[in-house]
């Protein structure tokens, strides 16, 4: 009975968390009730992926302030323990600290599996099972998320190989993965496809990264479960289940950044119960004007207030349910001097050293131009376990996205939004999974979603994006088989997309023109991987996908504020098709050395992109270049290479190289907004075990020194941009962090400096590059109490 | 069998949603673009002579070309110039000039000319004593041809170097109007 329950719990957690599996085996060989404080905890730590013993893992009993370090066989032992409730921390280089809550009444043996490789052969979330070995994925751990409270989702992901940000100033950023972003990149927030205004290059994903316990980048085409328009990469934001700790526990954190004088507060509370387990997360951020090495970036402050609540219930051993609600609210200032109208204004702004409207003083004030964004999500998951290896999940969800953008307007209208969009999305997702014998597994499901997008008639401006309603309905199925060293899976997905659009005619007077579009999207993906000679593995991922043109690509019409261009959609665009192949190789001859390389090539038929038409349209506000959506065959190819080497147990060197090239093959010219090449190195010194310093118990003492070199985007032709692309630059950062472990809580603290050299630079992928430099030096301190 | 049932349920749910959904149409409202400026009229008078330079673009950023009416001026003459801004997309046409008058400290016209000897000077001031340009004086020199360009900036830095004298270089601000008229001086 007990065993069955455990399996069930594991199964239900598979989908949400699979990084740690803990088996608690009670030894009955000793006296069952200890009279004295002479109990011991013994255990063994293994790598979840390789099953190898892990040495130098710190195991600390928080209440007693004692601990042990695992030996080369992964064995540790802590003696002289009184019977009581204890919190046990398990930490190791390259993985986040795990926390256990145990009732110790007898001598206890723990078997602990750690997912220790930073680039892990982790199972992808669709199948969520140990037999699945999908393409190597990057994961961002809880610690990393926690230490970067101030960063938006995109900036947080930038640390990962092959991920960059398309930015508008320092506060707005959208992730680019292997050259894909916006409409081509799917973001999954707790199992639900994020439905925001992804089309806009100046729209950040509307998600508070702090709700996540883990953020994963899934590369490769194996992510069919997550709907159409997924062209080969996706981001998973995973809040995970409530930790199995039966009293209120959590974390309170505060961070301060000197640049922007930013305050960040984050509070997380959770409690596991027999009935309903819960977790609540709240985040507050307030930043003022950021500062380049030389001047303030006037009106670049922002504020953010987010909250999330997770409720979980598990009953009758067959049912598992959760309800998740989150609310994201932000107000973002846009650099005042970047608000320009026609091409002449842009040229004038570009020639200035310091942007127009730069104030000499700091301010928290946010004036027009600014954005105010709200995103609310409610979702539920209901899982039914037909048996231990067969289950069904039903996931209904509702999202509401409200975006208002305020420009500098005449006649006191700056308080009246010039863009006001309401986007509501309802979806229902049904999945069935069955594990068969002999390592085979099938999964199938359907996703239906309805989206309604409306321009709120309060702007008195012709909308850039028309009102529309759309429906997506799809089915997928996949099968996987594991032969041990060899693994293969294949999946197929079909989606029907219906768009019902009401646009305005181009001329005068305005009339309503209706379009009803029907699209069919198909996705096929397969993965095969092979492990050989115990320390090497190779995998090949091949996928085919189609993406229907998005509403903005079909019908956007008008002046795109801040880009100094008139954008025109093309109602006759065809479905975009792509074939992507990803070849991964990893070599892990010892726990001290890891090499991982990813080579990818993606070919697009009818790649949809915005490009200048050559027309310069005279208007009453001067001349504007006209941009239109075109379709051409294109390719994106690149290499991501990362090496990790532990010189000693304490001294680690990590290096990353990212190379990418995108080309319009029909015109033989480069694609715009492609990341330039990057080289990054991080040197970390980490004291390998806990130590005492003037009565303080210190753990995870770490100093890191990172270097990033970003090459110039020199592929671009001069005619493809308003101004030459920015020069290459080099950034350096340092960070000192440590955990202070006390009897009933632990204190995480760090001090960090970004852009140590106060380098003046501009980044090609930041639209603000025409007007101003990037941020100068920034000091940060962070404190967090875990209890 | 169980598998079949599981597969049928989502199909049924999807079919139902499709049915419900296809009956709903978005109903957008045509916005009332009260901020739009469609027409600029620069009226030049000297005694009995009146010349109206006119720029009209009813579809805003749309593809239809604007209608531009230039003018012929008499050499060595001083005209008093008056600016009128209209939104003719509305019926009756809305006079935007009053909006500029009310916010005169936040607006300034800038004039430039390629016609030899032709100059335009401000003939009005805002509440702070800085020029606006709704009223101006245009003086012609000898006969010749070329064009004049009129720019209206919103929130320019009026106190910046040279701006009060009509030099746009340091003005900044958003361009609300930028129009060019062909001019002949006879």
Q: Residue B142 falls within a domain, yes or no? A: yes
Residues of chain B contacting residue A514, judged by C-beta atoms under 8 Å apart? 25
By percentage, how much of chain B surpasses pLDDT 70?
A: 87
Q: Residue B92 falls within a domain, yes or no? A: yes
The enclosing domain of B39 has a CATH number of 2.60.40
By percentage, how much of chain A surpasses pLDDT 70?
A: 89
Q: Residue B29 falls within a domain, yes or no? A: no
Which residue in the set A409, A504, A620 is minimally distant from B30, CB to CB?
A504
Could B59 and A566 be called an inter-chain contact, meaning their C-beta atoms sit closer than 8 Å?
no
pLDDT score for A94? 54
Decide if B32 touches A, using CB distance below 8 A. yes
Average pLDDT over residues A251-259: 95
Which residue in the set A341, A457, A509 is minimally distant from B175, CB to CB?
A341
CA distance A574 to A558: 22
Q: Residue B5 falls within a domain, yes or no? A: no
pLDDT score for B135? 94
Average pLDDT over residues A158-182: 87
Q: Residue B139 falls within a domain, yes or no? A: yes
Tokens of A360: 């000499």
pLDDT score for A723? 83
pLDDT score for A402? 95
Decide if B42 touches A, using CB distance below 8 A. no
Strand partners of residue A39: A81
CA distance A610 to A632: 11
Q: How confident is the model at residue A34 (pLDDT cuts 50, 70, 90)?
A: very low
Average pLDDT over residues A509-514: 86
Instruction: Reply yes or no on whether the pLDDT at A514 is more than 90.
Output: yes
CA distance A455 to A403: 10
pLDDT score for B41? 94
Residues of chain A contacting residue B18, judged by C-beta atoms under 8 Å apart? 471, 473, 498
Model pTM score: 0.83
CA distance A84 to A173: 48
Whether residue A342 contacts residue A362, with contact meaning beta carbons closer than 8 Å, is answered with no
Cα–Cα distances in Å, from A475 out to A291, A426, A443, A518, A521? 50, 17, 11, 17, 11
Q: Which residue of B has its CA nearest to A508?
A: B59
Average pLDDT over residues A743-752: 89
Decide if B38 touches A, using CB distance below 8 A. yes
Could you identify the residue written with the tokens 């208002």?
A: A404
Could A618 and B66 be called an inter-chain contact, meaning their C-beta atoms sit closer than 8 Å?
yes
Architecture in CATH of A230-786: Beta Barrel (2.40)
pLDDT score for A134? 35
Residues of chain A contacting residue B34, judged by C-beta atoms under 8 Å apart? 460
Residues of chain B contacting residue A461, judged by C-beta atoms under 8 Å apart? 31, 33, 35
Could A619 and B2 be called an inter-chain contact, meaning their C-beta atoms sit closer than 8 Å?
no
Q: Give tens-digit pLDDT for A673-706.
A: 899 999 999 999 988 777 888 888 888 899 999 9
Number of domains observed in the structure of chain B: 1
Q: Give tens-digit pLDDT for A606-636.
A: 999 988 887 888 888 888 888 899 999 999 9
pLDDT score for A775? 95
Could you identify the residue written with the tokens 């200890």?
A: A34
CA distance A64 to A58: 15
Which residue in the set B31, B65, B173 is minimally distant from A462, CB to CB?
B31
What DSSP assignment string belongs to A453-504?
A: EEE-TTS-S--SS-EEEEEEEEEEEEEEEE-SSEEEEEEEEEEEEEEEEEEE
Decide if B47 touches A, using CB distance below 8 A. no
Average pLDDT over residues A293-301: 95
Q: What residue ranges do the domains of chain A occupy?
A: 20-114, 230-786
Phi, psi dihedral angles at A173 (to 5 degrees): -150, 140
Closest by CA position to A702, among listed A106, A244, A94? A94
Tokens of A782: 């962070």
Average pLDDT over residues A351-380: 92
CA distance B181 to B186: 16
Which residue in the set A430, A509, A621 is minimally distant from B175, CB to CB?
A621
Could B29 and A473 be called an inter-chain contact, meaning their C-beta atoms sit closer than 8 Å?
no
Distance from CA of B117 to the nearest CA of A (A): 25
pLDDT score for A11? 33
Top pLDDT among A404 and A135 is at: A404
Phi, psi dihedral angles at B121 (to 5 degrees): -120, 155
Could A342 and B62 be called an inter-chain contact, meaning their C-beta atoms sit closer than 8 Å?
no
Q: Which residue of B has its CA nearest to A421?
A: B28
Which residue in the set B66, B157, B176 is minimally distant from A410, CB to CB?
B176
pLDDT score for B7? 56
Whether residue A730 contacts residue A698, with contact meaning beta carbons closer than 8 Å, is answered with no
CA distance A343 to A333: 23
Count A/B contacts: CB-CB distance under 8 Å. 166
Decide if B34 touches A, using CB distance below 8 A. yes
Q: Which residue of A has its CA nearest to B152?
A: A621
Which residue in the set A357, A386, A430 is minimally distant from B9, CB to CB?
A430
Residues of chain A contacting residue B83, judged by C-beta atoms under 8 Å apart? none
Residues of chain A contacting residue B102, judged by C-beta atoms under 8 Å apart? 411
CA distance B152 to B157: 13
The pairing of beta strand A108-114 with beta strand A39-47: parallel
Cα–Cα distances in Å, from A431 out to A99, A322, A585? 31, 15, 31
The 10 Å Cβ neighbour count of residue B110 is: 23
CA–chain centroid gap for A145, Å, is: 10
Average pLDDT over residues A128-145: 50
Decide if B128 touches A, using CB distance below 8 A. no
Q: How confident is the model at residue A50 (pLDDT cuts 50, 70, 90)?
A: low
Q: Residue B2 falls within a domain, yes or no? A: no
Domain range for B158? 35-185
Whether residue A465 contacts residue A453, with contact meaning beta carbons closer than 8 Å, is answered with yes
Q: Which residue of B has its CA nearest to A562?
A: B174
Residues of chain A contacting residue B157, judged by C-beta atoms under 8 Å apart? 356-357
Average pLDDT of chain A, as a whole number: 83
Could B177 and A340 be called an inter-chain contact, meaning their C-beta atoms sit closer than 8 Å?
no
Could A618 and B40 be called an inter-chain contact, meaning their C-beta atoms sit closer than 8 Å?
no
Instruction: Reply yes or no on whether the pLDDT at A125 is more than 60.
Output: no
Phi, psi dihedral angles at A507 (to 5 degrees): -85, -155
pLDDT score for B56? 92
Q: Residue B6 falls within a domain, yes or no? A: no
Q: Give tens-digit pLDDT for A563-580.
A: 667 888 999 999 999 998
CA distance A352 to A361: 19
Could B38 and A620 be called an inter-chain contact, meaning their C-beta atoms sit closer than 8 Å?
yes
> Containing H/E element for A6?
helix A2-14
Which residue in the set B14, B173, B174 is minimally distant from A448, CB to CB?
B14
Top pLDDT among A529 and B63 is at: A529
Which residue in the set A428, A460, A506 is minimally distant from B33, CB to CB?
A460
Distance from CA of A46 to the nearest CA of B (A): 37
Three-state SS at A763? coil
Average pLDDT over residues A134-157: 74
Instruction: Reply yes or no on whether the pLDDT at A7 is more than 50.
Output: no
Average pLDDT of chain B, as a whole number: 86
Distance from CA of A517 to the nearest CA of B (A): 12
Whether residue A166 contacts residue A201, with contact meaning beta carbons closer than 8 Å, is answered with yes
Decide if B31 touches A, using CB distance below 8 A. yes
Average pLDDT over residues A530-544: 88
According to the 3-state scheme, what is the secondary structure of chain B?
Answer: CHHHHHHHHHHHHHHHHHHHHCCCCCCCCCCCCCCCCCEEEEEEEECCEEEEEEEECCCCCCCCCCEEECEEECCCCEEEEEEEEEECCCCCCEECHHHHHHCHHHEEEEEEECCCCCEEEECCECCCCCECCCEEEEECCCCEEEEEEEEEEECCCCCCCCHHHCCCCCCCCEEEEEEEEEEEEC
pLDDT score for A109? 77
Which residue in the set A454, A466, A618 is minimally distant from B65, CB to CB?
A618
Could A430 and B66 be called an inter-chain contact, meaning their C-beta atoms sit closer than 8 Å?
no
pLDDT score for A491? 87
pLDDT score for A490? 87
Residues of chain A contacting residue B178, judged by C-beta atoms under 8 Å apart? 341-342, 344, 620-623
Architecture in CATH of A20-114: Sandwich (2.60)
pLDDT score for A238? 84
Residue B84, class by beta-carbon neighbours within 10 Å (0-12 exposed, 13-18 middle, 19+ buried)?
middle
When scoring B175, B179, B182 by the number of chain A Cβ atoms within 10 A, the one with the most, hence best to mutate, is B175
Instruction: Reply yes or no on whether the pLDDT at A32 is more than 50.
Output: no
Which residue in the set B17, B169, B175 is minimally distant from A450, CB to CB?
B17
Q: Which residue of B has its CA nearest to A513?
A: B28
Decide if B87 touches A, using CB distance below 8 A. no
Instruction: Reply yes or no on whether the pLDDT at A250 is more than 50.
Output: yes
Tokens of B170: 């340091």
Top pLDDT among A484 and A334 is at: A334
Q: Residue B12 falls within a domain, yes or no? A: no
Residues of chain A contacting residue B39, judged by C-beta atoms under 8 Å apart? 620
Q: Give tens-digit pLDDT for B84-141.
A: 999 988 888 889 999 899 889 999 999 999 999 999 999 999 999 999 999 999 999 9
Decide if B90 touches A, using CB distance below 8 A. no
Half-sphere exposure of A702 (CA within 13 A, CB side): 24
């Amino acid at each position: 009975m007990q065993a069955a329950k455990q399996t069930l719990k594991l199964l239900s957690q598979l989908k949400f968390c699979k990084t740690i599996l803990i088996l608690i085996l009670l030894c009955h060989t000793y006296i069952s009730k200890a009279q004295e404080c002479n109990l011991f905890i013994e255990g063994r730590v293994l790598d979840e992926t390789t099953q190898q013993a892990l040495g130098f893992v710190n195991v600390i009993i928080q209440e007693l302030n004692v601990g042990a370090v695992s030996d080369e066989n992964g064995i540790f032992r802590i003696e002289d323990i009184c019977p009581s409730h204890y919190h046990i921390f398990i930490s190791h280089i390259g993985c986040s600290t795990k926390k256990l809550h145990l009732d110790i009444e007898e001598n206890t043996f723990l078997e602990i599996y750690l997912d220790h490789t930073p680039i892990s052969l982790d199972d992808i979330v669709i199948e969520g099972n140990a037999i699945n070995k999908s393409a190597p994925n990057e994961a961002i751990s809880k610690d990393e998320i926690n230490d970067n409270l101030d960063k938006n989702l995109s900036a947080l992901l930038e640390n990962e190989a092959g991920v960059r940000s398309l930015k508008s100033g320092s506060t707005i950023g959208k992730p680019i993965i292997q050259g894909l972003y916006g409409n081509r990149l799917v973001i999954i927030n707790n199992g639900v496809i994020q439905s925001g205004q992804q089309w806009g290059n100046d729209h950040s994903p509307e998600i508070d990264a702090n709700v996540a316990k883990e953020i994963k980048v899934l590369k490769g085409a194996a992510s069919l479960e997550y709907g159409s328009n997924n062209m080969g990469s996706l981001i998973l934001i995973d809040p995970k289940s409530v930790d199995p700790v039966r009293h209120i526990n959590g974390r309170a954190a505060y961070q301060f950044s000197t640049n922007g004088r930013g305050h960040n507060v984050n509070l997380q509370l959770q409690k596991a119960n027999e009935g309903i387990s819960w977790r609540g997360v709240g985040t507050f951020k307030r930043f003022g004007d950021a500062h380049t090495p030389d001047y303030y970036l006037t009106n670049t402050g922002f504020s953010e207030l987010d909250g999330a609540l997770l409720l979980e219930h598990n009953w009758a051993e067959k049912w598992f349910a959760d309800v998740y609600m989150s609310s994201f609210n932000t107000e973002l200032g846009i650099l005042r001097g970047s608000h320009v109208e026609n091409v002449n204004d842009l040229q004038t702004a570009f020639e200035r050293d310091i942007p127009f409207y730069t104030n000499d003083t700091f301010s928290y004030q946010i004036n027009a131009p600014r954005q105010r964004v709200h995103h609310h999500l409610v979702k539920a998951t209901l899982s039914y376990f037909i048996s231990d290896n067969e289950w069904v999940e039903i996931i209904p969800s509702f999202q509401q996205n409200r975006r208002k953008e305020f420009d500098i307007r005449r006649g006191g209208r700056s308080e009246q939004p010039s863009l006001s969009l309401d986007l509501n999305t309802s979806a229902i997702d049904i999945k069935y999974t069955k594990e068969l014998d002999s390592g085979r597994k099938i999964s199938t499901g359907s996703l239906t979603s309805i989206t309604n997008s409306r321009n709120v008639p309060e702007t008195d401006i012709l909308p850039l994006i028309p009102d529309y309603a759309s429906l997506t309905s799809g089915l997928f199925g996949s099968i996987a088989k594991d032969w041990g060293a060899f693994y293969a899976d294949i999946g197929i997905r079909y989606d029907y997309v219906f768009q019902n659009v009401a646009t305005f005619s181009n001329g005068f007077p305005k009339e309503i023109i209706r379009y009803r579009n029907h699209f069919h999207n198909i996705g096929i993906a397969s993965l095969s991987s092979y492990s050989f000679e115990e320390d090497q593995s190779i995998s090949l991922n091949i996928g085919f996908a189609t993406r229907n043109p998005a509403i903005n690509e079909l019908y956007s019409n008008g002046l795109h504020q801040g880009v100094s261009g008139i954008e025109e959609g093309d109602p006759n665009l065809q479905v975009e098709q792509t074939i992507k192949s990803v070849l991964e190789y990893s070599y892990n001859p010892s726990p001290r050395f890891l090499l991982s390389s990813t080579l990818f090539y993606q070919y697009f038929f009818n790649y949809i992109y915005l490009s200048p038409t050559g027309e310069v349209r005279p208007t009453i506000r001067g001349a504007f270049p006209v941009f239109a959506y075109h379709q051409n065959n294109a390719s994106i190819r690149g290499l991501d290479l990362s090496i990790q080497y532990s010189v000693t147990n304490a001294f680690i060197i990590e290096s990353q190289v990212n190379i990418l090239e995108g080309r319009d093959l029909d015109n033989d010219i480069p694609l715009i907004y492609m990341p330039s090449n990057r080289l990054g190195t991080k040197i970390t010194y980490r004291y390998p075990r806990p130590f005492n310093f003037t009565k303080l118990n210190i753990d995870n003492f770490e100093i890191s020194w990172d270097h990033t070199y970003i090459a110039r985007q020199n592929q671009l032709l001069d005619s493809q941009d308003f101004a030459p692309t920015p020069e290459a630059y080099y950034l350096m950062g340092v960070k000192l962090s440590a955990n202070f472990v006390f009897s009933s809580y632990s204190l995480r603290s760090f001090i960090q400096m970004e852009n140590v050299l106060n380098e003046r630079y501009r980044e090609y992928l930041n639209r603000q590059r025409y007007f101003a430099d990037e941020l100068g030096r920034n000091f940060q301190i962070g404190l967090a109490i875990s209890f | 069998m169980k598998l079949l049932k599981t597969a049928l349920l989502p199909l049924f749910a999807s079919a139902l949603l499709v049915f419900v959904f296809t009956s709903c149409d978005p109903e957008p409202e045509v916005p009332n673009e009260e901020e739009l400026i469609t027409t600029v009229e620069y009226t030049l008078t000297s005694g009995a002579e009146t010349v109206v330079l006119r720029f009209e673009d009813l579809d805003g950023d749309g593809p239809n070309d604007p209608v531009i009416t230039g003018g012929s001026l008499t050499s060595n003459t001083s005209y008093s110039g008056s600016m009128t801004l209209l939104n003719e997309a509305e019926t009756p046409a809305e006079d935007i000039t009053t909006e500029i008058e009310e916010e005169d400290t936040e607006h300034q016209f800038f004039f430039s000319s390629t016609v030899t000897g032709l100059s335009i000077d401000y003939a009005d001031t805002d509440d702070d004593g800085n020029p606006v340009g709704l009223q101006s004086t245009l003086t012609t020199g000898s006969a010749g041809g070329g064009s004049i360009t009129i720019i209206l900036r919103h929130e320019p830095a009026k106190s910046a170097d040279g701006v009060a004298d009509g030099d746009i270089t340091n003005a900044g601000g958003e361009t609300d109007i930028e129009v060019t008229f062909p001019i002949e001086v006879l």
